[in-house]
Amino acid sequence: MIVLYVAPIIIVLNMIIHPSNANSVLWIKYIYLNLELSSEGDEKMNDKIKPKKNLGQATTTVTSGRVVQDYFGFVNPPVYHGSTVLYPTAEAFRAHDAPYVYGSKQTPTSQSLECAIATLERADGCHLTGCGRSAILLALLSVLETGDHLLLIDNVYRPTRNIADNFLKKFGVETTYFDPNIGAGIKNLMRENTKAVFVECPGSQTFEMSDVPAIAAAAKQQGAFTLIDNTWGTPLYFKPFEHGIDISIHAATKYIVGHSDAMLGAVTAVGEAWDAVAQTYDMLRLNAGVDDVYFGQRGIRTMEVRLARQMKSGITIAEWLSERPEVYRVLHPALPSTPGHDIWKRDFTGASSLFSILLHERNETAVNAFLNALNLFGMGASWGGYESLAIPFDPASYRTATKWEHSGSCIRIHIGLENVEDLIDDLEEGFIALNSAASADK
């Protein structure tokens, strides 16, 4: 500390003796930045990056998790490529007494993004993982053990089903699927050994809006944790911990990274659940690669504006689609015609740009003609980037607790950052191709 007070005097003397030395000015700036920081006391990194209260969401997205003083004034944290962390003394090594102890546990880069996500979602903590799927696994392994019972929502991302049915089962965890519209009725499925209830709201293909607060309240009464895959809601538009959730999961690969160029997962949690996540993470270290972490940290700074634009474009296109004669129904929680819209209005502050359409057409050749005629909509599974996508899916093929009634085809649409008019023109071309393929097939 003393150096911070003595150094400016030496530098000022140096400037008087060598007035042309520009470096001195920079050093004074640097030292004052550090003085400001040091005035906060000997806090740990975690305390330093605590959010300022009452900031708007865009401001929080831009500022949280950044400690520019620690990066010599650079706006963004550097990418720390590292495994080994050197300790100053044998005593410190024995006590693991260092802000960072090992590359897989945390680096200043990962900590910056973890802090930003936890701050936005108002969690007690966040850990990053190598992809969304490993985030789901980390969350489940944090709260489940042999002999436990898991309640899993029937509209869940399919690989989550796979983890439950083919992985957790091997370790003696039993799973029961439930209707996304179950609400407080979930209590009837609770068993003495029910340890976790896992929801995805809305479901990322069929977009049912579950009554999350009612489900979480029933789970809490039974002493079970409630987990949510909050990838669609993002840390901006749904605040899970204000609705009774214990653990929230993000495929940060989607809107947080936002550019379809990295794989990343995040698990945030509160209270006892956060302790469990932190302990399990420490054992398993399902950590993300530092460059992908950096892409997430870069992406999150513009997420608020990307999502605002994508939400607006998504709603405009969903409304346009709902007027098309080929479309039986649009499934977009922000549209009043979509079942569950009232829940969305009650619990969410925005909508991301992923939704589905149910077509009257069942003929696969005609639906393929629609998809193949699209030029601006790519056909790819991962969403949340800057580009638009359209893919077919079939909920009837995997649901077990509920029956999927619609007999026509289903298309999932992701709206990116292109001009809405161009996307609508593209879809119009698709419908021309669909109609001509359908009539040729009759």
Which residues of the chain form contacts with ligand PLP (CB under 6 A)?
131-133, 157, 200, 204, 229, 231, 251, 253, 263, 265, 381-382
C-beta separation of 210 from 201 below 8 A: yes
C-beta separation of 421 from 343 below 8 A: no
Question: Which residue number has the CB closest to ligand PLP?
Answer: 132
**Nearer Cβ to ligand PLP (109/234):** 234
To the nearest whole angstrom, how small is the minimum distance from the Cβ of residue 425 to ligand PLP? 28
For residues 327 and 111, give the distance between their C-alpha atoms in angstroms, rounded to a whole number. Answer: 46
**Nearer Cβ to ligand PLP (267/318):** 267
To the nearest whole angstrom, how small is the minimum distance from the Cβ of residue 138 to ligand PLP? 12
**Nearer Cβ to ligand PLP (135/315):** 135
For residues 172 and 189, give the distance between their C-alpha atoms in angstroms, rounded to a whole number. Answer: 19
**Nearer Cβ to ligand PLP (267/433):** 267
Q: Which residues contact 389 (CB under 8 A, 6 or more apart)?
A: 377, 378, 379, 380, 383, 412, 413, 414, 416
To the nearest whole angstrom, how small is the minimum distance from the Cβ of residue 251 to ligand PLP? 3
**Nearer Cβ to ligand PLP (264/330):** 264
Q: Say whether 266 sits in a helix, a strand or coil.
A: strand
**Nearer Cβ to ligand PLP (133/306):** 133
Please report which helix (H) or strand (E) contains residue 393, including its range: strand 389-393
To the nearest whole angstrom, how small is the minimum distance from the Cβ of residue 257 to ligand PLP? 9
Nearest alpha carbon to residue 212 among 175, 241, 192: 241
To the nearest whole angstrom, how small is the minimum distance from the Cβ of residue 232 to ligand PLP? 7
Long-range pairs of 245-248 with CB within 8 A, sequence gap ≥ 24: 245/212, 245/216, 246/143, 246/216, 246/270, 246/271, 246/272, 246/273, 247/139, 247/142, 247/143, 247/273, 247/277, 248/121, 248/123
Take residue 224 and report the two structure tokens written for it: 């079970």
**Nearer Cβ to ligand PLP (24/253):** 253
**Helix and strand tally (H, E) in the chain?**
16, 11
To the nearest whole angstrom, how small is the minimum distance from the Cβ of residue 381 to ligand PLP? 6
**Nearer Cβ to ligand PLP (131/293):** 131
Nearest alpha carbon to residue 161 among 229, 256, 253, 263: 229
C-beta separation of 218 from 43 below 8 A: no
